[in-house]
Amino acid sequence: MSRIFFSLGILALLLMAATLSIGLYLGDFKAQLLERRQLDREIQTLQTQIPKPADWEVQLAAARARMAALDAVRGWFRVHLLLGVGTSLTVILVNCIAVTYFIGTGRWCREVVETYRLDPALAAKSQKLKRRSFPWAALGIASALVISALGAAADPGTLRSTTDVWATPHLVAAFAGFLVIAWAFFIQWANIGENHAVIEEIVARVGEVRREQGLET
């Protein structure tokens, strides 16, 4: 489980880094959207204007070239949006996997310790690791949700007047959230490793008890 969680955590962080990089590449996307609208009006004017200016073909070609460049950036914005949603879901999933793991193994440890009358400290240690991991899992999930919410508020595609206000908080939250989520993954990964050691010790002691009672050859 430790290796699986490590791989999933790295995948989630790589997705976050990719989403953040695309967001930085976009720059002031709202200004580019407004420029595209202006270019669209200029192209329509050049095509319908009578009489046409002497260099109208040059102006039209330049406007269309710039329009194509802006359309390419708009395509990257869609990638940023979809990748952001997928990344948030991945981060939430990875944290939920850790929570589910500790719930399941914690109960298993308690039941096995009680059944074979082992040292209660073993089950208590597993429960302690679970309690130490849950706040970090919740923090990781909350960080992903905050970043997504701020991203929705800063979405320039809506052309709301308040999107500029949320752009900087979204960027700061993305950088801070990356660090917080990375640290939360590390803490949970370390606790999963410790819990695995507890499970191995319980299995070893169960084997000793069964051999003493003649239940195993």
For 152-194, what is each residue's pLDDT tens digit?
888 877 777 777 788 889 999 999 999 999 999 999 999 999 9
Residue 159: other Cβ atoms inside 10 A: 11
Both structure tokens of 3: 């290796």
pLDDT at 137 (0 to 100): 96
Residue 66 lies in a domain: no
Q: Does some domain include residue 50?
A: no
Rounded to an integer, what distance in angstroms lies between the CA atom of residue 191 and that of residue 194? Answer: 5
pTM of the model: 0.83
Domain holding 94, by residue range, is 2-28+82-212
CB 189 within 8 A of CB 102: no
Q: How many domains does the chain have?
A: 1
- Domain-located, residue 168: yes
Band (pLDDT 50/70/90 cuts) for residue 62 is confident
39 part of a folded domain: no
User: Is 14 part of any domain?
Assistant: yes
56 is a domain residue: no
Whether residue 65 is contained in a domain is answered as no
How far is Cα 77 from Cα 83, in angstroms, rounded to an integer? 10
How much is the CA Rg of the chain, to the nearest whole Å? 28
Check whether 206 has a pLDDT greater than 70: yes
Closest alpha carbon to 168 in 145, 141, 156, 150: 150
- Does an H or E element contain 54, and which? none
Residue 38 located in a structural domain: no
